[in-house]
Structure 1
Amino acid sequence: MYMPPPFTSRDPAVAARLMRAHPFASLVTTDDEGFPFVTHLPIHLQDEGVAEGRFSLLGHVARPNPQWRHLEQRPRALVTFLGPHAYMSPSVYPDLARVPTWSYLAVHCQVTARLLDHEDAAGKDALLKALIGDHEPAYAAQWRAMDQELAHKLLKAIVAFELTVNDWQCKLKINQHRPESHAALHAMYAAGTPDERALAAWMQDLGMVPATEGEG
């Protein structure tokens, strides 16, 4: 994606924070005609290597979804994560020679896929338990207690994969390069929608406004 320097972060902790907070990602492959094919799906970021910026992702698709065959034939793919985003009004500036824009946070990962073996029930089970741990840990007991024949049938209905991240981009676009807007923009976002409030918190974390402005 387009990466102007003021909005570029190479901090793996920041990228990991975004991916974990917004795990509903877009997996982009190319079909047999070379056209982009997209699946929207939850992705699990594994812990190992994160501190050094070495990311590994886990996910799965339904077996009827042709995308797993794309990954099998063409393992290189793109995974995108979109964080909080919101409209930015030009009213945050002290002058009128401005235009609206959009604030957003995003991570893009270039990946190489490895499909889990179709009969690797243990590998699929581990993947599903990782996703359960991310989103509803209490459900783990119900999954463990499920009839084994039914559980095996459900596991056969998905194709799981591990995605090794070869390169990643993290974009934080919150008008960092226009400090004259920061106080008004933060105040506007802090009083707004959930996405806007999340952006206000990120502004504070990035040092764009004093910490005291975000307290209360």
Structure 2
Amino acid sequence: MLIHPWDAARDSDEWRSWLRTRDFGQIVANGVDGAAPVVVPTHFLFDGQEVVLHLARPNPIWAALEADPAAVVSVHDDYAYIPTGWRADSPETGVPTSYYASVQLVCQAEIVDDKEGKADILRRQLAHHQPDGDHGEVSADGGPYRKMLSAIRGLRLRVVDVRAKFKYDDRRPAEFRERVAAGLAERAHPGDAGALAQQRRRGATS
């Protein structure tokens, strides 16, 4: 991912704050023997140090991670297409662009196959995604999930690097940004509200 200095996260607090409310993305692993990368969309839990999740045992990512434990967890949101006329005095002279936020966690994978390890990951995920506690007991030796643990494998992804990008025309003059903001507010397509909020947040601190 190309990250110009003006699009980079200001600090780790910025990308951590953004990622804290997002728990769905794609895990990317290198293909085996030169095959195309394996890309798996999934929910996950990021605790600030590692990503944990579980997937079905037949998932093709397991073979990829067993061959090479390097992986990337990629999350993007708050995106919008910005048309030519919003970024110039006329549509003929403007250059369109995309606004978006993206965080990529570069990780080393550890596959978890023991029952207690899988139960621990499942407990943590359920506590995160269903904090009201309506998920029943999670135990390696009892409860409603005991017999299903054999159908899944757990995954721990230790984060070794972070790539974070917030592309919202920060370096442009305030008048320019306000014109784009007005366009986003008026158009109101899916994603426009999130992009507008990020553009205004970044502009206020630039």
TM-score band, normalised by shorter chain: 0.7 to 0.9
From 120, 124, 128, the equivalent of 2:122 is: 128
Q: Which residue of the partner structure matches residue 135 of structure 2?
A: 142
From 159, 177, 186, the equivalent of 2:181 is: 186
TM-score with structure 1 setting the length: 0.82
| Secondary structure class of the residue paired with 2:26 | strand
| Secondary structure class of the residue paired with 2:179 | helix
Q: Which residue of the partner structure matches residue 37 of structure 1?
A: 38
Question: Superposition pairs for residues 107-122 of structure 1, below 5 Å?
Answer: 107-116=103-112, 118-121=113-116
Q: Deviations over 1:28-56 (max 9, x none)?
A: 11222222111111121114xxxxxxx31
From 156, 159, 167, the equivalent of 1:165 is: 159
The number of residue pairs the alignment matches comes to: 199
Distance 1:142 1:79 in 2: 26
One-letter amino acid of the structure 2 residue matched with residue 181 of structure 1: F
- Contact kept in structure 1, 2:83 and 2:95, CA below 8 Å: yes
Q: Which residue of the partner structure matches residue 8 of structure 1?
A: 8
Q: Report how far residue 148 of structure 1 moved.
A: 3.0
Q: Deviations over 1:82-122 (max 9, x none)?
A: 11111112332352221221111101121101122x2233x
Q: Which residue of the partner structure matches residue 28 of structure 2?
A: 28
One-letter amino acid of the structure 2 residue matched with residue 7 of structure 1: D
Q: Which residue of the partner structure matches residue 103 of structure 1?
A: 99
Structure 2 residue 93 is matched with structure 1 residue 92: no
RMSD: 2.3
Q: Report how far residue 70 of structure 1 moved.
A: 2.0
Q: Report how far residue 160 of structure 1 moved.
A: 0.8
Q: Which residue of the partner structure matches residue 75 of structure 2?
A: 81
- Contact kept in structure 2, 1:20 and 1:44, CA below 8 Å: no
One-letter amino acid of the structure 2 residue matched with residue 37 of structure 1: V
Q: Report how far residue 20 of structure 1 moved.
A: 2.8
Distance 2:86 2:46 in 1: 36
* Matched-pair identity in %: 27
- Contact kept in structure 1, 2:185 and 2:192, CA below 8 Å: yes
Q: Report how far residue 135 of structure 1 moved.
A: 2.6
| Secondary structure class of the residue paired with 1:200 | helix
Alpha carbons of 1:69 and 1:150: their partners in 2 closer, same or farther (altered >3 Å)? farther
TM-score with structure 2 setting the length: 0.85
- Contact kept in structure 1, 2:87 and 2:96, CA below 8 Å: no
One-letter amino acid of the structure 1 residue matched with residue 183 of structure 2: M
One-letter amino acid of the structure 1 residue matched with residue 149 of structure 2: L
Structure 2: stretches of 5+ with no match in the other structure? none
